[in-house]
A = this chain, B = another copy of it.
Amino acid sequence: MSQHRPPGAPERPVAVPALPDLPEATVARLPEYLRALHNLAENGHETVSSEWLATAAGVNSAKLRKDLSHLGSYGTRGVGYDVALLIDQIEYVLGLTQRRTVALVGVGNLGHALAGYDGFATRGFRIAALFDSDPVRVGEEINGLVVRHVDELSRVATEESIAIGVIATPAAAAQRVADRLVAGGVTSILNFAPCVLTVPDGVDVRKVDLAVELQILSFHEHRKASLTALPAAGEAPLTPLPGSLAATDPQEAIGT
């Protein structure tokens, strides 16, 4: 993990105390709070109560307060939180005060969509390079960026100080791509390929698998169906399901 932060660009050298080590669960929620706060700011709100912000972010208000308390107290009792201040705080903690460059590898079906997804740019990330191994795709221009061959990956990643690599290749290619990203100094990887990546210590990998999400939902569908099929049998079923008419699930198949 070679830290290739250019020494000439120090981050916010002042104000904020040393970066606290937040619970992982808190970190995962901060972006959600941030999004809700931006909505509030656009609507002209200057302060917000924990109750309000919590519902906007879809969480319990006590949890929200505890989360925010981890970054130092920036609320005013009896009033709430200053929206603008809180935005600054969260953006600082998340490291969004400096725009991070992203390299996207694999410009297939999904990669193409990611390259054109404007949600990245609007939230502080700049896709700086695209890569693919297919010679047909190399050279193609997407959103003003030319697709380069994956052989250049390590070199370009180093040159452009890529902070985050996004892998949108087939599973078979993902590990090789990850190795090249690491070799290029990248220490954060977002993996869309359905496989487990092996990386050195100090490199963070997050995995997003769309089919996995569907499978988790499928489990809950299955469970709900089996609950309605077996009414009370010693165990109290949860709620009587208010509007569960629908008749979506005729009978759950049992065989293979």
Q: Could you tell me which A residues sit within 8 Å of B by CB distance? A: 1-5, 11, 15-16, 18-19, 21-22, 27-28, 30-32, 34-36, 56-58, 88, 93-98, 100, 102, 109-110, 112-114, 116-117, 119-120, 123-125, 158, 161-164, 179, 182-183, 185-190, 194-226, 228-230, 233-234, 239, 241-256
Contacts and interface: CB of A to CB of B under 8 A. Distances in A.
A246 B159 CA distance: 10
B161 A248 contact: yes
B216 A18 contact: no
A188 B220 contact: yes
A156 to B, nearest CB: 13
A18 B232 CA distance: 11
B224 A120 contact: no
B98 A185 contact: no
A256 B30 CA distance: 15
A250 B196 CA distance: 11
Quick one: copies of this chain in the complex? 2
B109 A57 contact: no
Nearest to A254: B1
A3 B228 contact: yes
A201 B120 contact: no
A229 B198 contact: no
Contacts of A250: 161, 198
- Counting chain B CB atoms within 10 Å of each CB, the highest count among A16, A200, A230 belongs to A200
Contacts of A119: 194, 210-211
B185 A241 contact: no
Nearest to A27: B219
Given A30-B215, A214-B102, A244-B182, A206 B94 contact: no
A250 B1 CA distance: 12
A186 B255 contact: no
A158 B204 CA distance: 43
Contacts of A100: 214, 218, 221
